[in-house]
Chain A
Amino acid sequence: MRYFISTNRFLIIFGLLMLLSLSVSMDDAFAEITANANHDHITIDSFYHGSTVSISGFSNPSDADLIIKLTSPDGHQSLRKKGKVASFLWMNTGELKIENVPNAYFLYSTRRIEDILSREEMDKYVIGYPALVKHATINVPAGEEKTKWFNEFIKFKESSKLFNTSVGKISTIKKDRKQDYSISAEWPYQAPPGNYTAQVYAVKDKKVIETAAVNVLVEQVGVVKSLADMAKNNAALYGLISIAVALGAGFGVGMVFRKSGGAH
């Protein structure tokens, strides 16, 4: 009998403990996040001068930090390196080839990435420039040389407006256990046409607890598309038209000046 009671007690205590631990991890287990792009199809016409990308959704729990990573697919980048020749002349000294790196990389977060995410998680989800370095393959020896050239790469990309990180641009509104978030990010005109992915991460206790993704398509349309296609697919005709127009313009202006007496 004694033995029976103690077993029962043990089971009750065990059950209570399980319930308690379940309620503690409830937030994590039911973590959820959604992402919608209000403007997921950017069209490039003749008068295009950049756009905005608006991403919104909600996250649960409401106290999670948020990170939004907007990137083009990983690919190959080839750039010219400048270095000192004869110890005082700056010249092209070779090519920097980087694999597994996006052409465009925009990162937005509610707080500083280093304060809200562990190094391991940053590497796992390729969040932040240090994670990007580890993820990429560069044709320079590892160590200082690699860090130096990757920093130069970031500098080059940031000056081309194709890489950017910013803190505090995501606005959040808490509602019960959830929080609504939204961001209206400037989309630079320098970003080439293509498919981009906006990945939204809910972060808590330095870990990613949930992710959601939405695609953004940037596409040339109309005359811009026709000209770009022709330059690629019908290059000979494109070249001949370019020359003919230049010749026509040169002669045309010459005739106008002749009639107006400008040349005499």
Chain B
Amino acid sequence: MFLYLPVALTSINILLPVGLGLLVGVLSGLFGVGGGFLMTPLLIMLGIPSTVAAATDSNQIVAASTSGTYAHWKVGNVDFKMGIYLLVGGFVGGLLGVEAIKVLRAMGNADFVIKITYVVMLGIVGTYMFLESLSSMRNKKSEKVTEQKESKISIFLKSLPFQTHFEKSGVTHSVLVPIFLGTVVGILAAIMGVGGGFLMVPIMFYVLRMPMHVIVGTSLFQILFTCIEVTFLQSYTNHTVDFTLAVLLLLGSSIGAQVGAVFGRKLKGEQLKILLALIVLAVTVKIIFELTLTPSLLLSQAGGH
């Protein structure tokens, strides 16, 4: 059955967005990512204009992350305190990132810098996570080595003022740490035009030393608020949110997020990390192909990412 999308101005078989929502929702509930890196290009492939695809994706992530946060919260896997500090940083970072884009555009070659930053960040994060998870799965000794390495960073982090204990995560940090990290991810997310979940999750694990299952829930909590803000801004300023498409997507994604959360609890932290690393690496390879292979069309609709 086909439904007409009033803002995207196109017609779509309803099974496609519902199925797509289900798939991305599972990833979201499983890894604590929004899944925009997967959803937006797939929607564009289905004939949705890029601006509408990105904005509507934010709207459906609100549903998926609400569903996911709820599922993780029920089993005590959301650190609201940490999430709020990260959000404050993310908000500041978003504003700085938008200014950074203006500077880059004024300097020219903004797209080049953005794309290269994206590929390098994804590549480093994916490779590091993959190798680290693999070695710690294979050899328990490596955990000790990692702990020794991290202790230097820990000493520095502990020397910072405003130390506070994050009960759910079982860690103590200066409030400046999550605010600073949130800002960094916020800047990069704004420049790259993505939610930043794939950066936030590794940072929470490697720098904030949070347990993997609490990371997923807390990341979703943070994504929820970011996407509420983005959905409103996109509706208000660009008129690019397609309500009909969002409903179709969220039908799948809100259920998918629950399935992902349930499935995630059956996996160990290391297994979750290595799976996420593989997805991040797959996205990196996809972008490298996109950048180097001659595109079939040299024109695309203005706007979007």
Residues of A with Cβ closer than 8 Å to B?
44-50, 78-83, 85-86, 88-93, 95-96, 149, 152-153, 155-156, 159, 189-190, 192-193, 220, 223-225, 227-228, 231-232, 235-236, 238-243, 245-247, 249-254, 257-258, 262-263
Contacts and interface: CB of A to CB of B under 8 A. Distances in A.
A152 to B, nearest CB: 5
B47 interface: yes
A95 B303 CA distance: 10
Instruction: List 4 A-B pairs, minimum CB-CB distance, nearest first.
Output: A250-B66, A239-B235, A254-B70, A246-B62
A80 B300 contact: yes
Given A47-B2, A224-B4, A263-B262, A250 B70 contact: yes
Contacts of A241: 243
B261 interface: yes
- Chain B interface category by residue count: 35 or more
B231 A239 contact: yes
Given A82-B300, A85-B112, A236 B7 contact: no
Nearest to A252: B254
A247 B63 contact: yes
B27 to A, nearest CB: 16
B173 to A, nearest CB: 29
Interface in B217-238: 228, 231-237
28 contacts: A47-B4, A48-B2, A48-B4, A79-B302, A80-B302, A81-B298, A81-B299, A82-B297, A82-B299, A152-B299, A189-B10, A190-B9, A227-B244, A231-B242, A243-B231, A245-B246, A245-B250, A250-B63, A250-B66, A250-B254, A250-B257, A253-B254, A253-B258, A254-B67, A258-B74, A262-B258, A262-B262, A263-B75
Interface of B, secondary structure class, is helix
B205 to A, nearest CB: 23
B71 A254 contact: yes
Contacts of B75: 263
Contact of B4 (A85, A153, A189, A258): A189
A189 B60 CA distance: 24
A263 B257 CA distance: 11
A79 B300 contact: yes
Contact of A235 (B235, B247, B258): B235
Contact of A90 (B6, B261, B293): B293
Contact of B292 (A50, A82, A88, A149): A88
Interface of B: 1-4, 6-7, 9-11, 47, 59-60, 62-71, 74-75, 109, 111-112, 115, 228, 231-237, 239, 241-244, 246-247, 250-251, 254-255, 257-259, 261-262, 290-295, 297-302
Contacts of A95: 302
Given A49-B2, A80-B299, 14 more contacts: A47-B2, A49-B11, A79-B299, A89-B112, A90-B292, A91-B111, A238-B235, A245-B63, A245-B246, A247-B228, A250-B67, A258-B74, A262-B258, A262-B259
A231 B234 CA distance: 10
Contacts of A243: 59, 62, 228, 231-232
B143 to A, nearest CB: 30
Contact of B74 (A80, A83, A227, A263): A263
Contacts of A249: 63, 66-67, 247, 250-251, 254
A112 B262 CA distance: 62
Contacts of B244: 46, 227
A49 B14 CA distance: 12
B4 A242 contact: no
Nearest to A154: B299
A159 B47 CA distance: 10
B59 A246 contact: yes
